[in-house]
Chains A and B, each alone.
Chain A
Amino acid sequence: QQPVQSPQAVILREGEDAVINCSSSKALYSVHWYRQKHGEAPIFLMILLKGGEQKGHDKISASFNEKKQQSSLYLTASQLSYSGTYFCGTFGGNKLTFGTGTQLKVEL
């Protein structure tokens, strides 16, 4: 079953912050975040393993709450280069299942 992402789309002005949420109805072992720019291949951002850890990648960080079966991706002081579609993937049953994505657009 696909994880649910929210919001589906968001528009930001450069410098603003954003949060993208990912939740699952199933117990999670890990959460994987990818970003895909229009017409390009998805690229890896980070993996979070259960344990409530928080990871960072430049000004992009994420948290994972295994009890709530949720993960959140935090984009701080957004840049134009952050525009794209963000996918969360959840691992279970030996499969990596991705959500439907969150379209993020950063404007001047």
Chain B
Amino acid sequence: KAGVTQTPRYLIKTRGQQVTLSCSPISGHRSVSWYQQTPGQGLQFLFEYFSETQRNKGNFPGRFSGRQFSNSRSEMNVSTLELGDSALYLCASSLVQTNPPGELFFGEGSRLTVL
């Protein structure tokens, strides 16, 4: 069965631009969460979606937003890019949303470079 697919894998943007990243979860998985990974901060939680609803949100500014579609695919958007937004953005899916969450299946990420 196909894993979590993230597109694009690499992209370069300039400050002030916006970017949209896409995540296709494992077939049948309904929960999608997003993480920002940087060398000094590790994995920082951005948000989690389940059945098209945002269930949880991390401590990121409003420039970071996301959504989930009826087929569970998810997108995240970053507007007015800043140099500090350069990072690897990871998407993870799981079968259902539970507390605590079960096994997360991560994609290989989208590496964003902001110049």
A residues sitting closer than 8 Å to B (CB atoms) are 2, 29-30, 32, 34, 39-44, 47, 49, 87, 89, 91, 94-101
Contact B90 A99 (CB under 8 A): no
**Contact bitstring B75-115, A, C-beta under 8 A = 1, else 0:** 00000000000000010000000011111111111000000
Contact B101 A96 (CB under 8 A): yes
Chain A's interface: helix, strand, loop or mixed, by majority?
Answer: strand
Q: What are 17 contact pairs spanning A and B, CB under 8 A?
A: A32-B104, A41-B106, A41-B107, A41-B109, A43-B106, A47-B103, A49-B100, A89-B43, A95-B56, A96-B45, A96-B100, A96-B104, A97-B45, A98-B35, A98-B43, A98-B44, A101-B43
With an 8 A cutoff between CB atoms, is B8 at the interface? no
B42-92 contacts to A (CB < 8 Å): 42-45, 48, 55-56, 58, 90
Apart from A32-B101, A47-B102: 10 A-B pairs, beta carbons within 8 A: A32-B100, A41-B90, A41-B106, A41-B109, A42-B43, A44-B103, A44-B105, A47-B100, A47-B103, A101-B42
B residues sitting closer than 8 Å to A (CB atoms) are 3-4, 33, 35, 40-45, 48, 55-56, 58, 90, 99-109
Note all chain A residues with C-beta closer than 8 A to B56. Answer: 94-95
Using known A-B contacts A29-B100, A42-B90, A91-B100, determine if residue A98 contacts B42 with beta carbons closer than 8 Å.
Answer: yes
Q: Which of B33, B58, B103, B108 has most A Cβ within 10 Å?
A: B103
Note all chain A residues with C-beta closer than 8 A to B48. Answer: 95
CB contact between A30 and one of B3, B44, B100 (< 8 Å): that residue:
B100
Note all chain A residues with C-beta closer than 8 A to B108. Answer: 39-41
Contact B99 A91 (CB under 8 A): yes
Note all chain A residues with C-beta closer than 8 A to B58. Answer: 95
Note all chain B residues with C-beta closer than 8 A to A89. Answer: 43
Note all chain B residues with C-beta closer than 8 A to A32. Answer: 100-101, 104
